[in-house]
């Protein structure tokens, strides 16, 4: 029997990495790869998949918001995907719900898949619904991750969507936010800003540069362990040797 599966993540790289890892599973049939919460709700309610890999943090509607809008009769087995969200990890453990931490390790994926297969075979829908309901009650009071960044500009405050920020450049005690053809200055250090931005979306590639993972188009290896990072806009940046370990966030070793 094929396990009809959805992969829900707002990051293209994350969706593609998980799709490649699942390609070797003969019983897994990927029926959709929605890139947003609202699209995920629509597909889950219409396709009634058996299994959903659900990203916890997404703009507009996060993973918890998706669950709250699902028709209970259509609720599939859920494997949450998160980027070291401490609260989420504790919550999933408490309610015995399965999760993967980005980037997904092959052995951890196999463990989660085997548990999901068992749940589907035993048709433990009622028990799964109870656990998900308890989880949603726990997260209602939790503050949501900010999806916009307030920036002062010419006597006004502009709210930049995180998805619109292509890359960030350090400039003394400021950072320069590059959004398409525009740039905005924010009085913040690179380290302080990095701690406020979701690590699942922004990657520090040098002491002075951080990039939106979704904007990365190509990586070109150079000498001494460095890489040229080419963005979709054509901008070329350098991933320095000291930050080479960050490549694991892109599914590379």
User: pLDDT tens, 225-252?
Assistant: 899 999 999 999 999 988 888 777 676 6
In the chain the beta strands, taken as DSSP E runs, fall at: 3-8, 28-32, 51-55, 77-82, 99-101, 148-153, 156-161, 167-171, 174-179, 182-186, 202-204, 209-212, 216-221, 227-231, 236-239
pTM greater than 0.85: no
Residue 138 is predicted with a pLDDT of 59
Query: Rounded to whole angstroms, how far apart are CA atoms 77 and 113?
Result: 10
Domain 148-250: top CATH class:
mainly beta
Q: Which residue has the higher pLDDT, 41 or 200?
A: 41
Residue 164: partners with Cβ closer than 8 Å, 6 or more residues away: 179, 180
3-class SS of residue 30: strand
Residue 144 · residue 193 · CB < 8 Å: no
Mean per-residue pLDDT of the chain: 83
* Structural domain spans, the chain: 3-139, 148-250
Residue 199 has pLDDT above 80, yes or no: no
- The DSSP code for 242 is G
Residue 5 has pLDDT above 70, yes or no: yes
Token pair listed for 242: 């000291």
Residue 140: partners with Cβ closer than 8 Å, 6 or more residues away: none
Can you give the C-alpha Rg of the chain in angstroms? 19
Q: Can you name the CATH fold of 3-139? A: Rossmann fold (3.40.50)
Q: pLDDT tens-digit profile of 91-102?
A: 566 554 788 888
Helix 12-22, helix 106-122: angle, nearest 10 = 70
Residue 123 has pLDDT above 70, yes or no: no
């Amino acid at each position: 029997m094929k396990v009809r599966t959805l992969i829900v993540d707002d990051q293209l790289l994350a969706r593609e990495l998980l799709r490649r890892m699942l390609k070797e599973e003969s019983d897994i049939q990927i029926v959709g790869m929605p890139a947003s919460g609202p699209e995920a709700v629509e597909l889950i309610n219409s396709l009634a998949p058996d299994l959903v890999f659900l990203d916890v943090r997404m703009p507009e509607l996060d993973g918890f918001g998706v669950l709250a809008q699902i028709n209970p009769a259509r609720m599939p087995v859920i494997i949450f995907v998160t980027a070291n969200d401490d609260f989420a990890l504790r919550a999933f453990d408490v309610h015995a719900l399965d999760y993967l931490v980005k980037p997904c390790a092959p052995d951890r994926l196999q463990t989660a898949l085997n548990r999901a297969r068992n749940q589907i075979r035993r048709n433990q829908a009622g028990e799964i619904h109870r656990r998900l309901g308890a989880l949603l009650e726990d997260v209602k009071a939790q503050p949501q991750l900010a999806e916009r960044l307030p920036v002062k500009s010419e006597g006004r405050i502009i709210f930049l969507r995180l998805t619109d920020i292509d890359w960030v450049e350090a400039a003394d005690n400021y950072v320069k936010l590059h959004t398409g053809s525009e740039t905005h200055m924010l009085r913040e250090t690179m380290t302080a800003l990095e701690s406020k931005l979701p690590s699942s979306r922004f990657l520090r590639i040098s002491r002075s540069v951080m990039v939106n993972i979704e904007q990365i188009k190509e990586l070109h290896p150079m000498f001494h362990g460095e890489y040229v990072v080419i963005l979709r806009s054509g901008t070329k940046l350098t991933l320095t040797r000291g930050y080479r370990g960050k490549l694991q966030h892109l599914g590379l070793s």
